[in-house]
Amino acid sequence: MVVEDQNLESGGSVRVVIKGESHLRNVLWGPVRWIKMLAKELHWSFVFGVVSLYGINQGLGGSLGRVATEYYMKDVQKVQPSESQALTAITKIPWIIKPLWGILTDVLPIYGFHRRPYFVLAGVLGVVSMLFISVLGNLHLYLALLWMTIASAAMAIADVTIDACTAYNSIKHPSLASDMQSLCSLSSSIGALLGFFMSGILVHLVGSKGVFGLLTLPFALVSVVGMVFSESHVPGFSYKQVNQKFIDAGRAMWRTMKCSDVWRPSLYMYISLALSLNIHEGLFYWFTDSKDGPLFAQETVGFILSIGSVGSILGATLYQLVLKDHAFRGICLWTQLLFALAGMLDLILVLRLNLKLGLPDYLFIVVDEVVSQMIGRLKWMPLLVLTSKLCPHGIEGTFFALLMSIDNAGFMTSSWLGGVLLHVLNVTRTEFGNLWLAVLIRNVLRVSPLFVLFLVPKGDQNTFKLPGEIIGEDSDSDEEKEEARNLELASLVHSADRR
């Protein structure tokens, strides 16, 4: 650091330089001290698990897997865009049944442990599935889809398990709850950025099947987490209790879902996601194969997606700083409108209007991706907050997983409807003449959820809560329940946000 100060006799220059060097050391070593503090207070295996699962398995591995899957379906299986759109949506089914994994890890210990065996199981399933796809030549499409779904189930099981560990530690160490969420978010964001940046390069060097082979390493790391994870042993568990616990959890969830304050916003969230048609595969094929398109290489596609991750982070930051105190219905209205307008950037690109305006494809699509991801995150964040507010006391984790399953069902429906639209408009591997119409229809449908906006509560995001008979106010004070709910759901929100 260089600081100009002509008054050398006062020693001002010397003091400023020393202060600057001290500040630089704090910046460089601050994160290291922070991680060491968490490892000391929570046990090093928990920090290792968060970085391994959120950062490496989901962040890095998830982004690599997404790009590899797109090229695998296009270049190896040689399916049409509409078929790829519909088939890849099937791999998300394990995320729809997340409550099942959550209940299993909560009520069914294996050899006296609730978490460790599920980490090991998830890692083994992931390694085996990735090996089958990468090693077997001429693998039938539906067998490949089966192994992809198993890999997705492995990631979902690991996700639910680490969520439960984070929620438990947040309740046990409430003063460190925000530090844990920062570690989760930071790990995931850095992992996704690195994964997307490397994805195109790796697909170019070793092919999509080679990338699947490399993905055995993040899954193997999940099993390692299970082997070293610190967890109390539960001896003498009575497995006769499991059936009753499943029944009790099911009754509690059904009783809550019948409440109008729960099913109405849940229905809106499903509709808003389902009608925001996903036609990504049609655009992806056009980006990479169409002679009239930009013909992006693998490296370029990966870099564009990594820049899009930055837009997502910007959206989350903007929400935290500006929009978190606004009413649910108002913010849903404006973010849905902006979401539809952002889709018009794809229309400008497909119609090649950007070239007429003198904007090159590469620059325009980078801006498009950043804006789309940022607005998509702004639209998604209040829905996540609303979801957390709908969870009753006592079954927060399981019920949150149920609500997120509804949202994941909306995403899957969006992909299927998008695939149908591409098929009806005859958007194929070589025909893209009607792709602009598919984009236009998608943008119009993005406005349609506003007609059911009345399902969303008017309440403020900070004060809205369920009726007392649903959240169980007869057992604890409002303050205690709200704190416990927020702490337990915080890690689940971060995890669901990555979906």
E strands, 175-297, are none
- The CATH number given to whatever domain includes residue 237 is 1.20.1250.20
Is residue 293 one of the residues assigned to a domain?
yes
Distance CA 430, CA 285 (A): 9
Sequence-distant (6+) residues with CB within 8 A of 301 are: 67, 199, 200, 284, 287, 288
Is residue 35 one of the residues assigned to a domain?
yes
Name the DSSP letter for residue 38.
H
Q: Total domain count for the chain?
A: 1
E strands, 353-482, are none
| Residue labelled with tokens 């090991």 | 120
Alpha carbon separation from 271 to 87, 265, 373, 410 (Å, rounded): 21, 10, 20, 7
Is residue 393 one of the residues assigned to a domain?
yes
Q: Could you give the residue ranges of the DSSP H alpha helices within 12-140?
A: 12-42, 44-50, 61-71, 81-90, 93-96, 98-107, 116-135
Sequence-distant (6+) residues with CB within 8 A of 76 are: 208, 209
Distance CA 136, CA 28 (A): 46
Tokens of 77: 């299986």
* Residue 327 phi, psi (nearest 5): -70, 150
Is residue 371 one of the residues assigned to a domain?
yes
Q: Look up the domain containing 94 and give its range.
A: 30-463
Per-residue pLDDT of the chain (499 residues; tens, 9 = 90+): 444 444 434 444 444 444 444 444 444 455 677 677 777 777 788 888 888 998 899 989 999 999 999 999 998 998 899 888 888 889 989 988 887 887 787 777 888 787 889 999 999 999 999 999 999 878 899 999 999 999 999 999 998 888 777 767 766 776 766 566 667 777 887 888 899 889 989 999 999 999 999 999 999 999 999 998 887 777 766 766 777 777 777 777 777 777 777 888 889 989 999 998 889 888 988 988 888 888 888 888 888 888 877 887 788 778 777 777 778 888 889 989 999 999 999 999 999 998 988 889 888 988 888 898 889 888 887 777 777 667 665 566 667 677 778 888 888 899 999 999 999 999 988 889 999 999 999 999 999 999 998 988 887 666 666 665 555 544 444 444 444 444 444 444 444 444 4
E strands, 263-347, are none
Sign of CA dihedral 16, 21, 22, 27: positive
Alpha carbon separation from 61 to 65, 198, 199 (Å, rounded): 6, 11, 10
Instruction: Give the closest residue to 54 by CA, choosing from 193, 191, 228, 230.
Output: 191
Q: What is the distance, to the nearest Å, from the Cα of residue 498 to the centroid of all Cα atoms in its chain?
A: 1
Sign of CA dihedral 373, 379, 380, 385: positive
Tokens of 9: 């006799």
Contact 117, 158 (CB under 8 A): no
Is residue 497 one of the residues assigned to a domain?
no
The residue type found at 278 is N
Helix (H) or strand (E) run with residue 333 in it: helix 328-342
Is residue 43 one of the residues assigned to a domain?
yes
Distance CA 194, CA 315 (A): 19
Tokens of 358: 């003198």
Q: What per-residue confidence (pLDDT) applies to 215?
A: 95
Q: What is the distance, to the nearest Å, from the Cα of residue 196 to the centroid of all Cα atoms in its chain?
A: 14
Is residue 14 one of the residues assigned to a domain?
no
Alpha carbon separation from 91 to 151, 153, 213 (Å, rounded): 8, 8, 18
Phi-psi category of residue 394: left, alpha or beta, with phi > 0 → left and psi -120 to 50 → alpha: left
